[in-house]
Amino acid sequence: MAIENIKMPQLGESVTEGTIEKWLVQPGDHVNKYDPLAEVNTDKVTAEVPSSFTGTIKELIASEGETLAVGEIVCTIETEGGDSAPAENNKPAEAGKENLMPAADTALTKGMTGEKGSSQPAKTAGAKGRYSPAVLRLAQENDIDLTQVTGSGNEGRITRKDLMAIIESGNIPKAGDAPAQQAAPVAEQPAAPKAEAPQTAAPAPKSAPIESAPGDIGIPVTGVRRAIAANMLKSKHEAPHAWMMIEVDVTDLVAYRDSIKGEFKKKEGFNITYFAFFVKAISQALKEFPMMNSMWAGDKIIQKKDINISIAVASDNALFVPVIRNSDEKSIKGIGRDINDLALKARNGKLGSADMQGGTFTVNNTGSFGSVQSMGIINHPQAAIVQVESIVKRPVIMNNGMIAARDMVNLCLSLDHRVLDGLVCGQFLARVKEILENMSKENTSVY
């Protein structure tokens, strides 16, 4: 027998961390190679971590809800075959075990040769003063002084969850405050708790007013919901939001779509929705107004070459934002197929990291809920989001002065005013309106 480590895998090219959403095994369970061990959430995607070995689960290092950097150990497995190397072995056996560990694990045990127990020293090494890349990145982006943060991880390790709680509370310990706080260790030891007490108790006043009453239900915050909250908070804090709305007459589009939907479903196997026409029109307008397809990057604005449309898809208990890639190059049918496929993946929990990455502009189908006017929060780091509202029949005064019942829809645009101004946004919406009002059986093909 031998003890092997299972580490947090890299579930995408730019992924640096993952959250253990749910353990699928417990210590003592027998698993085969490639059996799923846990559900891990990263970038709003839930994926399964497979076992790299056949054997028996020895220890679950990470707990549910804990966020770990890529490469950190999540659990250990006692494999079948080979020499036995239990955690509480003597020195020779421990040395043999160290030889089985990859370089990343060996670094955790540096300076601990000869000590009994393999898991506990590793936890100690990963405690105060040693931070994961994800924690360091969050601290730098939000100017958080890590020396003033009390970690909730093993042996006081600071986790991404700790920093997100601080960011959401708004009570951020700034790096500029460090000299004043660092003076505490110079005082006598009994005085240290007094200096630290205000830091620990500071967030309490914010949460104190929210009290549970009889009959209230406490709903745990899932990794997906936490990721959505973090991204929305970041967007509202960083991007100065502005808002515009335009009214569009889609009477001809509605008549065209309704005339082909039955035959299309029979031929292609999926429904052709109004939303596919809207995404096509917006993609075409983005090609003509490339500034709308841009992102704020601090010292510059990056105008993206590819037009990749993020769309909001809801499952029973979560919201996902998968991406339709190169939407400007696709037909209405192609866009419709992508919408259908991504929606099915989301509802069946099959969305992968690749499905969620690379979006440059978001189109949200709020009209599917009956909404007629809304102000969307921009999907960071994009510069704008369009809400396609519900199509409703309304009396409209025509050019000849007559009143007619027309199919009308509102398109609501939220924009990052650091990147975009009213002029280009107004021109963009006017072009989308023009494209949509000219979509009809006579001049539009879905293929």
Q: Is 421 labeled as catalytic in the residue annotation? A: yes
Reply yes or no: is the peptide bond before residue 179 cis, omega within 30 of 0. Answer: no
User: Can you state the angle between helices 332-347 and 251-268, rounded to 10 degrees?
Assistant: 70
CB atoms inside a 10 Å sphere around CB 316: 5
CB atoms inside a 10 Å sphere around CB 25: 18
Select from 359, 315, 365, 367 the least CA-distant residue to 336: 365
Beta-bridge partners for 22: 39
Q: Which is catalytic among the residues 83, 143, 177, 421? A: 421
Q: Is 417 labeled as catalytic in the residue annotation? A: yes
Select from 381, 413, 423 the least CA-distant residue to 289: 423
- Token pair in block for residue 223: 């990794």
Q: Which is catalytic among the residues 143, 237, 306, 417? A: 417
Interatomic CA distance for residues 379 and 392, integer angstroms: 27
* Burial tier of 106 (Cβ tally within 10 Å: 0-12, 13-18, 19+): exposed
DSSP 330: S
At 244, is the secondary structure helix, strand, or coil?
Answer: strand
Cα-based torsion angle of the residue sequence 77, 80, 86, 89 in order, rounded to the nearest 10 degrees = -150
The alpha-carbon radius of gyration of the chain (Å, integer) is: 27
What DSSP string describes 74-142?
EEEEEESSS----TT--HHHHHHHHHHS-HHHHHHTTT-TT-S-SHHHHHHHTSTT---HHHHHHHHHH
Interatomic CA distance for residues 171 and 159, integer angstroms: 17
* Chain position carrying tokens 């280009």: 424
Q: Give the catalytic positions in this structure.
A: 417, 421
